[in-house]
Amino acid sequence: MHTTGVTSPLAGWWKPAHRSEKIWATVAFVWCMVLFAMMPFWHLKGGQNPSGTRARVEPEAFRARVTEFVEEYRVGEASGIPIVAPPPGSDIYLMGQMWLWYPVLRLQQDAEYTLHLSSVDVNHGFNLYPFNVNFQVVPGYDYALSITPTEAGDFRVVCNEFCGVGHHAMLGRIIVDPPGTQVGSAVPEAAVPGGES
Amino acid sequence: MSPVASGSADATASTSPASSLFRTCPSTGLSVHRSADALIKANAVVATVALLIGGIAAILVLLTRWQAVHLLDAVWFYRVLTIHGMNMLIFFILFFEMAVLYFASAVLLNCRVAAPRLGWVGFALMVVGAGMVEWMMISGRADVLFTSYVPLRADPPFYLGVILFAVGALVVVGIFFATLVVARRERTYEGSVPLVTFGALTAAIIAVITLVHGAAIYIPTYLWSLGLMDVDPQIYRLVWWGLGHSSQQINVAAMVSIWYLLGALSVGAVVVNEKISRTAFVLYIAFISMASAHHLLVDPGFGPTWKVVNTSYFMYMAVMASMLHGFTVPAGVEMGMRLRGFTQGIFGWLRRAPWGDPGFSALVLSVVVFGFVGGITGVTFGTEQINIIAHNTLRIPGHFHATVVSGTAMAFMGITYYVIPLIFRKRVAFYGLARWQPYVFSIGMLIFSMAMTFAGSFGVPRRHWDITFPDAPFELAYSPAVDLVIGVMAIGGLIGAVGGGMYILITVTSVFFGKPLGQDFSEAALEGSVPPGVYTRPFLELPTEDVELEEHGRLGQMPGTMILVSIFMAAFVVYYFVNWKLLSFVWKVG
Ligand code: HEM
Ligand SMILES: [Cu+2]
Ligand SMILES: [Cu+2]
């Protein structure tokens, strides 16, 4: 007698699977192995990995590093937030706090930087507009990611982790100059974010 | 003639103890313990209240995210979003699951509830705990969303309420285990427990794992809110998702059990192979504990090895389990229908299926949307690197409204249409409306979640009051396509809300004002007022095994299912690799 989901099967229900079940189980298993293999593969061959180097940092120590960084490379100001133009290859900092991304970063296209993300109060979310690159920003942790902007433009950093009632106003900015631009030249104040300009 | 034998229920009915504590169900012949009846009713009613509160909150949140309306102010948006998440994901789902546990143990095993008084204690704890949480949320003392990530802080009674609620749930889970033991000892059934009970058992075991994580995080957080200890924000996220993720696995296990249940009740679906289905349930238990990792893929606290190991080894075996159920559930329906004589062609069984039975349509819609939208997006976004282009965008709520809403909630709604006659012993009010309800809800939520996922792929954040950024220091204008997609999302969500409203109208009217069923379970007496499975009772007619089904070449004996899962597989592969391609376009990061 066949069983349904509500019948108590009598002894002897440990039977060989149906042929089509075996086929499907094999397909599913192989596919799950592909899903698995893609991750190490991308670490070896792909350009986008969330690895970084990760360290604990006291919020006040992180704030001090950011302040020092801003003083060293400050080149201007936008909407009251300092604009900082660090040299290619350097360590750069972006601090999340209620409800501000600090400072505005000015980078060179195709140069590599080590971006340190952390928060000095609650969790925040780093979302790079319009590229849709996302990282969790957690207080007490320094997430150091090596990044290479592959396109020039005027980008935005949206906060996409709820961080209190001002969450929606938390919008930062990253400006990427084409290769070879002189640091210190004028910043397009009202450029359209992510525009092709 | 269809090769079926009937009457297996008589055997079980005769072994059950006859006493005034039991009533005999006229449809199934099962004897139902009266306190199981009452506990199921109480939990189901509270679940519906939570659904109503969560549903009203859903509409308010939706009409705010729809920038063209932008209904609530910022404070109330986040407050109502907290109310929506808690009521839907925690209260509605868990109260309903408590009812499922009583049903799968006491009712299906013909047994008494091991400790009915304690059952009421558990219920009371859950109600009091939920009440405290509601009070904190509405009075604006817990604007922290349902995840309450430390160091966002709610007032202490919020955490205490969650703890009481969880303790109550743990009590009910304990009673479920005890009832299984009682049933075995009192020999209320022969052989092994039915598959549906087995599935509920896995859900209950995962519930214990979940509630242990819950205690491990909410008790320290409660103490933290009182100023008595520190809680690290990253550890919080790790342990909280140990709770948050495994609780989704409870939902999946409960939903799959209900799939098997609905298949049996509506069309007499058979279990193609007990071994495969049960092994797949066991995989859920064995491989889920660390899958909380896929919520932490772009977090700073963990290295790549930890992330890869925990998403692959641990998660993919659970994915495999879901893929197995995704095959065996439709295959069981197909085989059951073929054995009952619907052997025409490849899809004859589907064409002749009872599409007007809200239990059956809910089953099909739940399987399809859960698999095609929820499953595929979930596995894809849960890949370590692809998570970079999904984390905290609208892609995430888009994904889980296709799993826990279009999948789990839809299955729960479908089974309600059988619970009303079989447990509440009422006719289904507005039955004509009930036949449409699964379609309205599911199609609405399908449009909603697909549009939401699509909006998320433009980077639109989740949990965000105003994506036009009027108060921000800089300007940001999303592409006009986003407005359009959000508009579609809003319309889909409103259709879904209408479907939810229909469900509440039907169930509340049936339960409180419905016409009693009476003792006559014939088609003539009941047609048009309950799902047909209640009077045709296909689950009592078990096909014999000596009938060989026709082989359809390489597609085998269940050709329809084979074709459906092949389409699924193709969609999965395409979506998965398209996302790798999208990822390769963004800035280099490592
Ligand atoms: C008609 C039905 C529903 C509609 C229209 C709806 C709509 C929404 C909307 C618009 C959001 C906000 C997304 C955001 O801004 O991040 C949301 C979030 C959410 N919904 Fe629903 N929803 C519905 C049903 C459900 C159900 C039945 C459940 C659970 C069983 C559920 C669980 C959630 C959860 C957990 C969140 C996330 C809350 C958060 O991010 O804190 N929803 N829903
Ligand atoms: Cu923020
Ligand atoms: Cu924020």
Q: Which CATH number belongs to the domain containing residue A116 in this structure?
A: 2.60.40.420
Decide if A188 touches B, using CB distance below 8 A.
no
What pLDDT score does B542 carry?
87
Whether residue A28 lies inside any domain: the answer is yes
Residues A30 and A83 placed together within one structural domain of the fold: no
Cα separation, B339 vs B353, in Å, equals 13
Residues A35, A68 within the same domain: no
CA distance to B126, B236, B520, per residue, from B167 (Å): 8, 20, 42
Name, in order, each residue with C-beta under 8 angstroms of A68's C-beta and a sequence gap of 6 or more. none
Q: How confident is the model at residue A196 (pLDDT cuts 50, 70, 90)?
A: very low
Q: What is the DSSP letter of B191?
A: S
Q: Check: CB of residue B492 under 8 Å from CB of residue B448.
A: yes
Q: pLDDT by residue (tens digit) across B146-182? A: 999 999 999 999 999 999 999 999 999 999 999 999 9
* Residue B588, H or E segment: strand B588-589
Distance between B125 CA and the closest CA of chain A, angstroms: 30
**pLDDT of the residue at A110:** 95
Tokens encoding B414? 């479908």
Q: What's the pLDDT score for residue B30?
A: 75
Pair B83, B57: CB distance under 8 Å: yes
Please identify which residue in the block is written with the tokens 């600090």: A102
Q: Is B374 in the pocket of ligand 1 (CB under 6 A)?
A: no
Residue labelled with tokens 């105003």 = B466
Rounded Cα distance, B326 and B263, in Å? 13
Each residue of B128-155: pLDDT tens digit? Answer: 999 999 999 999 999 999 999 999 999 9
Asked if B575 and B377 touch (Cβ cutoff 8 Å), the reply is yes
A184 within some domain: no
Q: Encode pLDDT of B31-70 as tens digits.
A: 788 889 899 999 999 999 999 999 999 999 999 999 999 9
State the residue range of the domain holding A45: 16-49
Instruction: Indicate if ligand 1 lies below 6 Å from the C-beta of B242.
Output: no
Residues A27 and A99 in one domain: no
Q: How sure is the predictor about A181, in pLDDT bands with cuts at 50, 70 and 90?
A: confident
What was the pLDDT predicted at A127? 98
The reply to whether A2 falls in a domain is: no
Are B130 and B50 spatial neighbours (Cβ–Cβ below 8 Å)? yes
The yes-or-no verdict on residue B459 having pLDDT over 60 is yes
Contact B542 A40 (CB under 8 A): no
Sign of CA dihedral A124, A128, A131, A134: negative
Q: Is the dihedral of CA B458, B462, B467, B471 positive or negative?
A: negative
pLDDT tops 70 at residue A183: no
Q: Is A57 on the interface with B (CB under 8 A)?
A: no
Find the mean pLDDT for residues B482-491.
98
pLDDT at B5: 39
Same domain, A41 and A106: no
Q: Give phi and psi for A97, each to the nearest 5.
A: -150, 160
Verify whether the Cβ–Cβ distance A6 to B543 is below 8 Å.
Answer: no
Looking at the structure, tell me whether residues A140 and A80 fall in a common domain: yes
Reported confidence tier of residue B4, pLDDT bands at 50, 70, 90 = very low
Print burial letters for B364-377: b (CB count within 10 Å at least 16), e (below 16): bbbbbbbbbbbbbb
Scanning every residue of chain A, which has its alpha carbon at the shortest distance from the alpha carbon of B581?
A46
Residues A40 and A129 in one domain: no
| Cβ count within 10 A of residue B473 | 18
Q: What percent of chain B has pLDDT over 90?
A: 79
Nearest to B588 among A48, A80, A169 (CB): A48
Instruction: Kindly state whether residue A128 falls inside one of the protein's structural domains.
Output: yes
Quote the percentage of chain A above a pLDDT of 70: 92
CA nearest to A155 within chain B: B476
Q: Which residues, 6+ apart, have CB-to-CB distance to B164 below 8 Å?
A: B125, B126, B128, B129, B132
Checking if the pLDDT of B506 tops 70, the result is yes
Question: What's the rounded Cα separation, in Å, for the pair A119 and B375?
Answer: 33
pLDDT value at residue B553: 86
Least confident of A137-151, A172-186, B190-204, B567-581: A172-186
Spell A100-112 as b/e; 16+ CB within 10 A means b: bbbbbbbbbbebb
d(CA B587, CA A194): 13
User: Residues A83, A187: contact at Cβ < 8 Å?
Assistant: yes
Q: Domain tally for chain A?
A: 2
Same domain, A91 and A156: yes
pLDDT of residue B291: 61
Q: Which ligand is nearest to the CA of A161?
A: 3
Are A43 and A109 found together in one domain?
A: no
How far from each other are the two terminal CA atoms of chain B, in whole angstroms?
A: 66
Same domain, A41 and A95: no
A62 and A42 in a common domain: no
Reply yes or no on whether the pLDDT at B313 is more than 70.
Answer: no
Residue A135 lies in a domain: yes
Percent of chain B with pLDDT over 70: 95
- Residue B166, pLDDT score: 94
* Contact yes or no for A51 and B304 at CB 8 A: yes
Q: Are residues A128 and A159 in the same domain?
A: yes
| B381 vs B291: CA distance, rounded Å | 13
Positions of E strands within B501-561? 541-543
| Whether residue B23 has pLDDT greater than 90 | no
Distance (Å, whole) CA B186 – CA B184: 6
DSSP helix/strand/coil, B516: strand
Query: Is residue B463 in contact with ligand 1, taking CB distance under 6 Å?
Result: yes
A141 and A58 in one domain? yes
Chain B touched by A1 (CB under 8 Å): yes
In a domain, A194, yes or no: no
DSSP bridge partners of A129: A156
B426 DSSP assignment:
B
Pick the ligand that lies closest to the CA of residue B462: 1
In a domain, A186, yes or no: no
Q: Is the CB of B79 under 6 A from ligand 1?
A: no
pLDDT tens across A12-27, in order? 888 888 889 999 999 9
Q: Which of B206-210, B304-308, B352-356 is the most confident on average?
A: B352-356
Interface test with B, best of A1, A7, A131 (most B CBs within 10 A): A7
Provide the pLDDT for residue B6.
Answer: 40
Q: pLDDT averaged over chain B?
A: 92
Q: B383 is written with which tokens? A: 């890949």
Instruction: Verify whether the Cβ–Cβ distance A80 to B473 is below 8 Å.
Output: yes
Mean pLDDT of B417-433: 94
Contact of B364 with B440, CB cutoff 8 Å: no
Task: With beta carbons under 8 A apart, name residues in chain B contacting A131.
Answer: 459, 585-587
Q: Does B85 sit in the ligand 1 pocket, CB within 6 Å?
A: yes
* Separation CA B427–CA B474 (nearest Å): 59
Indicate the pLDDT class of residue A46, thresholds 50, 70 and 90: very high
A82 belongs to a structural domain: yes
